[in-house]
Structure 1
Amino acid sequence: MNGVENNLDIKTYDIPTDSDPVHDNPIISNILLSRGIVDRKQADLGLASLSHYDTLPDIKKAVKIISLAIEHNKNILIIGDYDADGATSTSVAVMGLQRLGAKNVRWLIPARLTMGYGLNNNLLEQIYQKKPNLIITVDNGISATETCQTLSEEGIEVIITDHHLPPETLPNATAIVNPKLAENEFALSNLSGVGVMFYVLIALRAYLSEQKILTQKINLADLLSLVAIGTLADLVPMDKNNRILVHNGLLKIKNQQCPMGVLQICQIANINPADINSVDIGFKIAPNINAAGRIHQMDVAVECLISSNYETCNKKAHELKKLNNQRKITSSKMKDEAESQLIGIKKILNSHHDLFGICLYDESWHEGIIGIIAGKICEQMNLPVIIFTNSYDDNILRGSARSTHKINLKNMLDNFYQIHKDKILKYGGHAMAAGLSIKKDFLTEFSLLFNQECGKLLKNKSLKKEILTDGQLNPVNRNPIFVRNLQEVMPWGMGLAEPVFYDDFIVLSYKILQNKFTKMFIKDKNGSSTWNVIYFGGVIDTKKGDEITIVYKLSINNFYNKPDVQLIVQNYTLK
C-alpha cells in the first residue's frame, strides 16, 4: 500500500549529560551515549574483553562428553535449525569439531514445511539411519522433551546447545548448555545459537589442551565470521559480549580470514568484503542464507559454508542467490495480495468498527514467507498483524504474527489459549513476534477476537508511529568519511539501533522504479546541498517542489567506484 506516511511522531534519543565523551567525534559520541555506552571501556571491542565460557550452565559436563566421543571415534550428529542462526551454528559445530579431532561428524537440519522445527519425533527415522552415538543440537532442542526421552531410551546421548527460553520441564538430555538456564542475567545471557556453540568449542579446545589430547594450537578465530552472521541475523540484543563477537567476526571477513563460502556469498550479494558492515549482514548476507530454509532446504547454505572447495562454494552460493530471488518474487506477490485484502477489509469496516489488529489469510501463501509479510504489513500499518496460510493438514492454519511495542503478542495469545484451548492448537514466541496454529473453522472468530482485543489495548493510546531518531544532521556531516566512521564504530543491531536522522528537504526530481520503489533527488530546505535518496517501502506520491520531512539512514553508493552519500528513507511526511 502506497501513500503519505503523515501519521508520525518524531522523537530524539535522550543523551546523558553527566558522561564524558566516548568517541573523538562528538556526534558519534552522543549516539553511543544515547545507546547506553557511557564509557570508553564499554566501547572496547577487543577479544581480550570477551567474557569467559565457565559461567555457562553445564559447559564443563558437555565438553567432557564431547571429548570422550572424539577420543573413542564415536559418531556425532549435529541437529540444526532452518534459519541463518541455525545454519551458521551447524557449520561452526561441524568445522570446529573436525578441527578438534572428531572423525565422524554428520549433520541434519529438518525441512521447514514437512519435518517441523529442530529436534522432534519427525526426525527419528533419519536420525536412526545415521546411527549416532552422540547428538548435539544447535540453536534448538530446549523444548524437545519427548524426543530426548525417546533417544535416551535408545541409548543415544544428547547434548543440547540452545539460547531459547526453556519450558517448565527440561528435556532428559545428558547436558544442556543454554545461557537462559542461569538463575540471573549475566554477561552471556544474550548469546545467539551460534554464539553458544562457539563458546562450547572454545571450552572444548581448552579442555583437550589441559588433558594433553591436543598437542598443537587449533585456530577457531575464522569461525567468528559465522558467529557474526548468525548473531546479527537472529536479532539477539547487541550487548557488549555480542558486540565483541560481531566486531571481530566482521574483521575476519574484511581480511578474508573466513570460510570460503562466506566470501562467495559476499560475491553473489555484491559486497566487497573489505567494506562489509553489520547492515550488509542483516540486509544482504542473512536473506540469502535464510532463503534456503524458507524456500528449499537449509542444506544448501551449510554445504556452502563448510566446504573448502572453490567450485562447491561458488555453486552453492549461486543456488542461494537463485533461491533468494525466488523468495523475493514470492514475497512481492504475497505482499500485493495481502494489501489487496487489507483494502477490502477497510472498505467493509465503518466508523463503529475500527481496525486495530489485522488477520489475513490465503491458502496459497508460502508458509516460509508469511513471517516476512507480517513484518512488512505491521511496519506499514503500525498495527499488530497475523498472516495465516494452510498447513500440511487442510483443517489447520499456521500463522505468523508481528506486533508493535504497544501490544505484547505472547501475553495476548496466552489469554486466548486459556479460553480456546480446543481451537488454538499450538503457539509460541515473544512480545513482538509469534507463531501459532489454529483450526481453520476458527479463523473468522479469531480475527474478530484479535481485532477487538487489540482495540481494547490500544484504547486511549496514540496510533501515531513513534520514530526515535538521532536528531537533525548538519549537511557538512553527510560525507563518506563520517558515514564510514558511523558504520564501523559499532556493529549496529537489536538494542543498539543503527543511527537515524531527520531533516526537511525540497523535492527536485523523482522516479518510480519497478512500480515499487521511489528514487528522489532533493535539496536541504534551508540550504543548497543536494542528495540522492531511495525509498524501498513503496511509491511516494510526490512532485517537484514538494516539501518533505525525511527520516533516513546514511549509506554509501559506490556506483562507478565513486563513493557518494545516499539517504535511505525510513519514514517521511509530505508537507
Structure 2
Amino acid sequence: MIRRRAVPGGEHALPATLHPVLRDILLARGVREAEALDLSLARMAPMKGLSGLDAAANRLADAIQSGQRIMVVGDFDADGATGTAVAVRALRAMGAAGVEFRVPNRFEFGYGLSTGLVDTLAESPPDVLLTVDSGICCHDGITRAAELGIDVIVTDHHLPGESLPPAFAIVNPNLSGDDFPSKALAGVGVVFYLAGALRARLRDSGWFGARRPEPNLGMLLDLVALGTVADVVPLDRNNRVLVEQGLRRIRAGQASPGVMALLRAGKRDYRNVSASDLGFAVGPRLNAAGRLEDMAVGIRCLLADDVEEARELAATLDGLNEQRRAMQATMQDSASAQVSAIIEQLGDEVPFSLCLHDPEWHQGIVGLVASRVKEATHRPVVAFAPEEEGSARLKGSARSIKGLHVRDVLAHVDARQPGLIDAFGGHAMAAGLSIAANRLDDFRAAFEASTRLFLADEPPRAERVTDGELAAADLNLDFARELHAMGPWGQRFPEPLFEGAFEVLDQRVVGGAHLKMVLRPLDGHEVIDAIAFGTLPEDLDDARRARFLYRLDVNHFRGQASAQLVIEHIVR
C-alpha cells in the first residue's frame, strides 16, 4: 500500500521564502519553527540532566590527574567502535597517561562486559574501566570487576532492565528519572557528552595550561556522526546537530584519517558526503570486522593518525566487507528458499512472523539476513545461526516492523515460557537472543503467538509512505541541492520520497545488476537521468512508461553535478 504523508495544518513559523514543497516536507516531520532549522553546534542539547555525568566525570578526572590506568571496553558494532575511539582520543587529548581499549570478541565472550572478558584483566586490572555502548545489563561482569578493585563507569543508551548493575557511575539518558531531553543518543553520543563534562571538570581544576592545552572536542564529531548514523538511532534535533556538524568537518577535510580512508574505500567523495554515505558505505565496512573477526582492527583504523596506516587498515576492512557480502548473498538465497517453502506450504495463511535457521549460517551476519527478509515480507523476522560449529545453542537476531516492539515480544515469550530463551536484549526494532537448538520449534510457535497477540490478530501490512508528486519543473539540480541542504536525513526524519509517472526514453544495465534510465515526466518536457539499484529491464512491466517511487538526488560524476532520480520502488 502506498500512502502520502500527512501535512499537518495550523500556524507555523517556517520562513516564508521556503520552497512550498520543502515547507510541507518539514511540517510532515514535525518541524514548525525556523529555529529548528539551525543545526549549529550552539544548538546541541546542554549536558545538564544527563544521569551519572558528574560522578563519571569526577572519577575520570581523578584518574587522569593521579596517573591511574583507564581501560575502555566497547561493543563490536560501528556505534561501539566509534564510541571507543571517541573515548580513547578524548582521554589521551586531556592528558591521560595510561589508556587502553578492549572490545569483546562476539564469538569468544559474547556481548558486553562479560565475566570472561573481565577475567582476562585479573592479572593486571586497570583502576577504572569505562564501558561504551554497553554495560547497562552486564551485572555479572561489573560485579566481577568490583571484586578485582576496578571502578566501572557505564556509558550506554540501551534500555535498562529491572535493576541496575553495581557500577561506580552510570551515564545513560534512558535511566528512569533522567532529565536529558534527547533520549535518542547513540552510544557514541553518550560518551561524547561525558568527554565534554570531563573537560569542564579538568578545566575547573586548573589542569590545562600552556604545557597542556585544552583540547577542542569538535575534532571528534566525524566519529560521533558516523556512529550515530550507523546505529540507526532516531535523528531527533540533537542528533541532527551532531551528525550535521560531523558531516561539515568531513566535507572540510578535517576528519580523522580512518574515516577519510573508509570513505575512499567506499568510493565516496568526502567533499560531498551525506548521512547516507556514512550509513551505506562507511558503516558496513567498519561493522564487517565485528561481524566476521574482531572489531579491534576497526577501532585501530579510527584511532590511526598516520594516513598510510589508516589506508592499510581500511583496506583490510574493505576486504572483510567483501567477504561479508559474499557470505550474506549465500545466506540470503537460503533464507529466500525457506520463505518460499513456507508460503507454498501455507498458501494464504502466511504467519505473522518468520523464524529462520540454517546450520551453515554465520552468527555475525544473521542480523543482516533478518533485516532483508523483513523488508521483503513485512514480517518480524528472527534468523538463527549456531553459536559455533556443532553447537547445541543458537544465536538469533530479530528485526521488527513499525508498530511492533520486538524486545517486548521477546519479554512476553520469556514470561510465558521461562527457560525457553536463555538470554535476550535489544530495543523496539532489533534484538538479539540465544536458545537451545532443540527448542527452535517451541520458540517459533511461542514467538508467533506473542506476535499475533501484540498485533491484535491484524496481519502486518506493507506500507510505503511518500511526500506526494513533484511538479516536472522541480526535477532539477537546484531543488535537489535544496533537499540535500535540509538534511541530514535518517531514522524518524526520513529522506523525502516522491511518486510519479514517467516515459522511459532509454535504459541500460550498469554494474551487472542496476538499471540506468533516461526518463521524462508525463506532464513535462525535460528529461532526467535515473538509476534503479538491483533492477533489470524485465522488472519493468512496460518498457516505455512506468510509475516510480523515487528520491531526487545530486549525482557527482567527473567533477560535474546533475540531478538524478534514485528509484526506490516500481509501482505495479
| TM-score past 0.5 threshold | yes
State whether structure 2 residue 294 is matched by structure 1 residue 300: no
Alignment partners' CA distance in 2, 1:308 and 1:219: 16
One-letter amino acid matched to 1:70: I
Choose the corresponding residue for 1:10, options 3, 7, 11: 3
- Answer with 360-369 or 511-520: which moved more: 511-520
Alignment partners' CA distance in 2, 1:121 and 1:274: 44
- Judge conservation of contact 1:507–1:543 (CA < 8 Å) in 2: no
C-alpha change, 1:236 and 1:323, in structure 2 (3 Å) is: same
Q: 2:547 corresponds to which residue?
A: 549
Alignment partners' CA distance in 1, 2:458 and 2:503: 33
Task: Give a deviation string over 1:17-76, Cα, whole Å, max 9, x none.
Answer: 421334633322221121111111111111122222232112111111111111111111
State whether structure 2 residue 559 is matched by structure 1 residue 561: yes
Alignment partners' CA distance in 1, 2:376 and 2:40: 39
Alignment partners' CA distance in 2, 1:146 and 1:60: 25
Q: 1:27 corresponds to which residue?
A: 21
Q: 1:159 corresponds to which residue?
A: 153
Alignment partners' CA distance in 1, 2:120 and 2:513: 44
Q: CA deviation at 1:449?
A: 4.2
Q: 2:333 corresponds to which residue?
A: 336
State whether structure 2 residue 142 is matched by structure 1 residue 142: no
Alignment partners' CA distance in 2, 1:460 and 1:175: 43
**Any idea what SS the aligned residue of 2:553 has?**
strand
C-alpha change, 1:197 and 1:509, in structure 2 (3 Å) is: same
- Answer with 241-250 or 553-562: which moved more: 553-562
Choose the corresponding residue for 2:359, options 358, 363, 366: 363
One-letter amino acid matched to 2:5: T
Task: Give a deviation string over 1:185-222, Cα, whole Å, max 9, x none.
Answer: 53232211111111111111111111111113321111
Choose the corresponding residue for 1:96, options 87, 90, 104: 90
- Judge conservation of contact 2:499–2:547 (CA < 8 Å) in 1: yes
Task: Give a deviation string over 1:504-563, Cα, whole Å, max 9, x none.
Answer: 123344445677544444332333333333333555622554542211112222233332
State whether structure 2 residue 163 is matched by structure 1 residue 169: yes
State whether structure 2 residue 193 is matched by structure 1 residue 199: yes
Q: CA deviation at 1:179?
A: 1.2
- Judge conservation of contact 1:553–1:568 (CA < 8 Å) in 2: yes
Task: Give a deviation string over 1:414-468, Cα, whole Å, max 9, x none.
Answer: 2221232232212222232222212212222333444455456557746542211
Q: 1:3 corresponds to which residue?
A: none
**Any idea what SS the aligned residue of 2:189 has?**
helix
Choose the corresponding residue for 1:529, options 526, 532, 548: 526
Equivalent residue runs for 1:56-135 within 5 Å: 56-135=50-129
Q: 1:187 corresponds to which residue?
A: 181
**Any idea what SS the aligned residue of 1:42 has?**
helix
- Aligned residue pair count: 566
Alignment partners' CA distance in 2, 1:174 and 1:463: 44
Q: 2:368 corresponds to which residue?
A: 372
Q: CA deviation at 1:412?
A: 2.3
Task: Give a deviation string over 1:89-121, Cα, whole Å, max 9, x none.
Answer: 110111110110101000000112221112111
Alignment partners' CA distance in 2, 1:264 and 1:523: 38
Equivalent residue runs for 1:477-492 within 5 Å: 477-492=474-489
Alignment partners' CA distance in 2, 1:549 and 1:456: 37
C-alpha change, 1:509 and 1:309, in structure 2 (3 Å) is: same
Q: CA deviation at 1:390?
A: 0.9
Alignment partners' CA distance in 2, 1:411 and 1:358: 17
**Any idea what SS the aligned residue of 2:285 has?**
helix
- Judge conservation of contact 1:277–1:488 (CA < 8 Å) in 2: no
- Judge conservation of contact 1:16–1:34 (CA < 8 Å) in 2: no
Choose the corresponding residue for 1:386, options 358, 382, 387: 382
Alignment partners' CA distance in 2, 1:305 and 1:363: 34
One-letter amino acid matched to 1:158: V
Structure with bigger RCO (C-alpha 8 Å, 6+ apart): 1
C-alpha change, 1:181 and 1:422, in structure 2 (3 Å) is: closer
Q: CA deviation at 1:228?
A: 0.7
- Cα RMSD, aligned residues only: 2.1
- Judge conservation of contact 2:398–2:432 (CA < 8 Å) in 1: yes
Q: CA deviation at 1:173?
A: 1.1
C-alpha change, 1:118 and 1:459, in structure 2 (3 Å) is: closer
Alignment partners' CA distance in 1, 2:48 and 2:557: 48
Alignment partners' CA distance in 1, 2:512 and 2:351: 27
Alignment partners' CA distance in 1, 2:170 and 2:86: 18
Task: Give a deviation string over 1:242-297, Cα, whole Å, max 9, x none.
Answer: 11111111111111122111111111111211111111111111111111111121
TM-score, normalised via structure 1 length: 0.93
Equivalent residue runs for 1:396-407 within 5 Å: 396-407=393-404
State whether structure 2 residue 210 is matched by structure 1 residue 213: no
Equivalent residue runs for 1:512-527 within 5 Å: 516-527=513-524
Q: CA deviation at 1:502?
A: 0.9
**Any idea what SS the aligned residue of 2:531 has?**
strand
Alignment partners' CA distance in 2, 1:463 and 1:53: 40
**Any idea what SS the aligned residue of 1:410 has?**
helix
- Judge conservation of contact 1:69–1:76 (CA < 8 Å) in 2: yes
Alignment partners' CA distance in 2, 1:546 and 1:221: 51
C-alpha change, 1:177 and 1:411, in structure 2 (3 Å) is: closer
Q: CA deviation at 1:321?
A: 1.0
C-alpha change, 1:455 and 1:67, in structure 2 (3 Å) is: closer
Q: Percent identity?
A: 35
Alignment partners' CA distance in 2, 1:555 and 1:144: 43
- Judge conservation of contact 2:507–2:516 (CA < 8 Å) in 1: yes
One-letter amino acid matched to 2:362: H
- Answer with 362-371 or 176-185: which moved more: 176-185
- Answer with 104-113 or 356-365: which moved more: 356-365
Alignment partners' CA distance in 1, 2:529 and 2:192: 41
- Judge conservation of contact 1:535–1:568 (CA < 8 Å) in 2: yes
C-alpha change, 1:129 and 1:508, in structure 2 (3 Å) is: farther
Q: CA deviation at 1:129?
A: 4.7
Choose the corresponding residue for 1:436, options 417, 433, 436: 433
